[in-house]
Structure 1
Amino acid sequence: MCGIAGIITSPDRRIDQALIKRMTDAIIHRGPDEAGIYTAGGVGLGHRRLSIIDIKSGQQPMTSSDGDVTIVYNGEIYNFVEIRAELEAKGYHFKTRCDTEVILYAYHAWGPDSVKRIRGMFAYVIYDNRSKQIFMTRDRLGIKPLFYAPVGDRTILFGSELKALAAHPDFVRNLRKESMEDYFSLGYVAEPHTIYKNVF
């Protein structure tokens, strides 16, 4: 289990790395082995790592060798060996044996459609420096969580747990009445909602 968290805002705004650290520290239990932060042009990506595959070289955030694409990821990809072979046939070279790098280069090669090739349980956020766009996704069943919330003016927070978002000073903890009713009657809050208003 790992954890991801971050801030996405307008390109002219500087991301305070201390805020990313605060958000990832809130989910340290998800990844006590390592922490990493990436910031560029209104994007801040943070990662807490529990080292399982390729312990020495699977640090995150991970950036492609050409600097075009950066990822933070939590999960397990069941078919990463097959996808890696496809990418190697296209001329991609790998420095690690981890599934993170496979997702990174799959996106580099095929863009957002790359997620259609992936089988597994996952949540990841990619910053594409070529298009200056963010791509956020999780597995079809939602096994690996990924929450996001708009805050303030032109800013979105994301994280593996609500507590990562709540660690940001602009996060507002407004309880959603309907979610409270769901929780007390069903024992859970139905998607796409959470216990808080404007958090998904």
Structure 2
Amino acid sequence: MCGITGWVSFERDLGAHRDTLDAMVATMARRGPDATGGWTGRHAAVGHRRLLTIDPRGGAQPMVENTPTGSVALTYSGETYNFAELRAELRRRGHRFRTRSDTEVVLRGYLEWHEDVVHRLNGMYAFAVWDDRRSRLLMVRDRLGIKPLHYYPTSDGVLFGSEPKAILANPLVAPPLTWTECGRSSPG
């Protein structure tokens, strides 16, 4: 099933907030019991919980490509049904692959076509790509919304996750209700 989460902030250095990213990722343990990962940059932090399916060794996430002008980090949940065809097309365009995963195909597709990669994908997925080179976040969900993707705008960016509780794990977000507001007393 997998779970994705992340935080973009243009006013703070998120490299100093790895503990918050880890807390956001931890909320989705049931979505991905097999592996966990995180990546932080200056203005972005992305995390992942993984359920091993395709390429258990090579599909670790977030998947990052370091370029001479900056990093591109992808956190991905889902399945791209036409990834073999896209991989072949990208190889013809000069891309080299280190894994057999559809995740790497999506990442390399983004590197080749930027946002237009979404027009080439056939599948069920939700993913986010942070592009340091352009200081840009691309969040995508499949056309039918099979894979969930929730987001919460902040004063200087956005929080996102496969589940609302990943967003609520960030201290910038106050839960909309407390037990006392519901007419019940808090456990003492």
TM-score by length of 1: 0.83
| 2:138 paired residue number | 135
Determine if contact 1:146/1:160 at 8 Å carries over to the other structure. Answer: yes
| 2:173 paired residue number | 171
Q: CA deviation at 1:11?
A: 5.6
| 1:26 paired residue number | 27
State the percentage of identical aligned residues. Answer: 44
Per-residue CA distance 1:95-137 (angstroms, 9 max, x = gap): 0000000000000000001110000000000011221111111
- Tell whether 2:8 aligns with 1:8: yes
Per-residue CA distance 1:146-182 (angstroms, 9 max, x = gap): 000023x31311000011111112212337xxxxxxx
Structure with bigger RCO (C-alpha 8 Å, 6+ apart): 2
Query: What amino acid does structure 1 have at the position aligned with 2:45?
Result: G
Q: CA deviation at 1:57?
A: 1.3
Q: How far apart, CA to CA, are the structure 1 residues paired with 2:90 and 2:44? A: 27
| 1:148 paired residue number | 151
- Tell whether 2:78 aligns with 1:75: yes
Q: How far apart, CA to CA, are the structure 1 residues paired with 2:102 and 2:64? A: 13
Show structure 2 runs of 5+ residues with no match.
178-188
Q: How far apart, CA to CA, are the structure 2 residues paired with 1:135 and 1:64? A: 15
Per-residue CA distance 1:18-73 (angstroms, 9 max, x = gap): 11110111010000111111011210000001111111111001012536421000
| 1:183 paired residue number | none
Show structure 1 runs of 5+ residues with no match.
176-200
CA RMSD, Structure 1 to Structure 2 (Å) = 1.4
What is the aligned residue count?
174
Q: CA deviation at 1:12?
A: 4.3
| 1:162 paired residue number | 164
Secondary structure of the equivalent of 1:47?
strand
| 1:39 paired residue number | 40
* Structure 1, 113-122 or 62-71: larger mean CA deviation: 62-71
Query: What amino acid does structure 2 have at the position aligned with 1:92?
Result: H
Q: How far apart, CA to CA, are the structure 2 residues paired with 1:90 and 1:118? A: 17
From the two aligned structures, give the one with the greater strand fraction: 2
Q: How far apart, CA to CA, are the structure 2 residues paired with 1:73 and 1:11? A: 25
